[in-house]
Amino acid sequence: MKLDISSLRKAVDSLEKTIKVSENKILAVELDNNVKDAIRAGVIQNFEFTYELCWKFMRRWLKENADVEEAEYPRTRKELFRLAARSGLIKEPLSWFSYSDARNLTSHTYDENKAESVYETALDFFGDARYLLDRLQERND
């Protein structure tokens, strides 16, 4: 069964756009700290929903394409990420564990240091999210 991955594609593209805005040094000199914080918050929000879509699409793809035993196996996200790595959807699960930790931070608390940490994680996450999207596009039949 072919998955409709258009929502994931839009989420990854949106994350990319917000990251580009946040890293635009020319624009940054013209902005005050409140606007810079708002842009960073936009990157974090894009990270949150893109991360959620990523793991849900991993699970959907595995249910459709993995062996029946394996498809029913992942009971936790860590197990899901390990299975996704074995199936070639992601490069390795360890970075996805840290993305999960960062996502959990965003839903429980907000302070400047944690926001900066999640922002930095979002920058790393983008490449892995794009990699997953590319694998899903290649193998979506």
Q: Which residues are catalytic?
A: 103, 108
Q: How many beta carbons lie within 10 A of that of residue 17, not counting itself?
A: 13
Tokens of 46: 């894009």
**Burial of 27 (C-beta count, 10 Å sphere; 0-12/13-18/19+):** middle
**Dist. CA 22–CA 30, nearest whole Å:** 12
**Dist. CA 60–CA 34, nearest whole Å:** 39
